[in-house]
Amino acid sequence: MKKTVVITGASGFIGLNLVEVFMRRGWRVRALSFDGIPSLAAAEFAALPGELDDRRGDVRDLTALEALFEGGAPDAVIAGAAITSGAAREREQPSAIFDVNLLAPVRLLEIAARHQVPRMLCFSSTSSMGELPFLGQPVRETDLPRPLTFYGATKTALETVGLRWNSFGAAPRLFVGRLTAAIGPWERATGVRDTLSPPLAIVESALAGEAIAPLPEGGSRDYAYAPEVAEQVAWLMTADSPPPKHFLYQLSPGFTWHARAMLDALAAEGVPVRIEEGGRRIEFNDDLTRTRSPLLADRMAEEFRVPPDAAACARAYARWALAHRAWFAR
């Protein structure tokens, strides 16, 4: 009998990687999103051994959440829906940010508890740590959050929820994945991520034969490769012998790397990117004059496996992009 996982935010960047990794394992995936699984992704997932139950709905709708548990309790729940907000959205839609990022996962937790679901995961973010990554030392899982934004505040609150909930010893066991900036397959503009990744822009330019402007020296990030993040989450939801030791895990490579690694990876695949002064300017999300330290991945490396290095991530993404040109031509 197939195991079942509920995934909210399933049509998003990380959500699609999660759907894929569980379907590869032969699971039944109840996927909730506001717009449904994109047709290109759905067609590829259809060849996998799992089953996809693709549902459209709003995570702020309690009825839609309750419906995910009809027909039998799932074996795992992943609260993946989020609004990754910038300053403008925080000024204009603060209540929506808190509703989607905090209240919806807590409501989902209540329902999962009622159905005695064994495990659940919520996502936190580097944003929960505020200025800490810029103070010259790597960030550890034991460091206390210091949020400076509404988005960071919602993620910090979820970390507190995880700590408090697990103190009850009640089902589900709740994990929190503190996610760094992700890159890789299935990234796209969905309207709820206000900043997309520089590696995506580089890949888009390469496939379009478009020149880019010289990349700046600054802007290195602890870019996490999305398929590896999905594997880490799947491990947290399934590992039994032994089970995960902690409730909070940093989903990070554990080091910083620059988006220019994509240039070498694409060139190695026969798609060199032209660098010209008048080319497309690749937008970086940070203040390029500041050096960012990574979120360390000590717990994941010790208990599951060491994340792949930058060159391996860049090569894998370049190969995926070349095999999925239609994804970038939309």
Render pLDDT for 114-133 as a digit per residue (tens, 0 to 9).
Answer: 999 999 999 999 999 999 99
Looking at residue 87, what is its pLDDT? 83
Upper half-sphere CA count for residue 285 (Cβ side, 13 Å): 23
For residues 176 and 155, give the distance between their C-alpha atoms in angstroms, rounded to a whole number.
9
Looking at residue 189, what is its pLDDT? 79
Distances (CA, A) of 284 to 11, 201, 238: 24, 10, 36
CATH of domain 185-222+255-295+308-328: 3.90.25
Span 57-82, pLDDT tens digits: 999 999 999 999 998 999 999 999 99
**Percent of the chain clearing pLDDT 90 (strictly above):** 92
Looking at residue 194, what is its pLDDT? 57
What average pLDDT does the structure give for the chain? 95
Span 229-270, pLDDT tens digits: 999 999 999 999 999 999 999 999 999 999 999 999 999 999
Domain range summary for the chain, segments of one domain joined by +: 4-182+226-251, 185-222+255-295+308-328
Looking at residue 211, what is its pLDDT? 97
- pLDDT above 90: residue 295: yes
Q: Report the alpha-carbon angle 177-233-223, nearest 5.
A: 65
Give 139's pLDDT tier (boundaries 50, 70, 90): very high
CATH class assigned to 4-182+226-251: alpha beta
Distances (CA, A) of 279 to 43, 75, 188, 283: 34, 49, 21, 12
Q: Report the alpha-carbon angle 126-306-204, nearest 5.
A: 60
Looking at residue 266, what is its pLDDT? 98
Looking at residue 190, what is its pLDDT? 75
Lateral strand order in the sheet of 4-8: 51-56, 28-33, 4-8, 76-79, 119-125, 173-179, 248-251
Q: Report the alpha-carbon angle 23-16-94, nearest 5.
A: 140
The domains spanning 4-182+226-251 and 185-222+255-295+308-328 adopt the same CATH topology: no
Span 201-236, pLDDT tens digits: 999 999 999 999 999 999 999 999 999 999 999 999
Looking at residue 192, what is its pLDDT? 58
Looking at residue 191, what is its pLDDT? 66
Give the pTM: 0.96
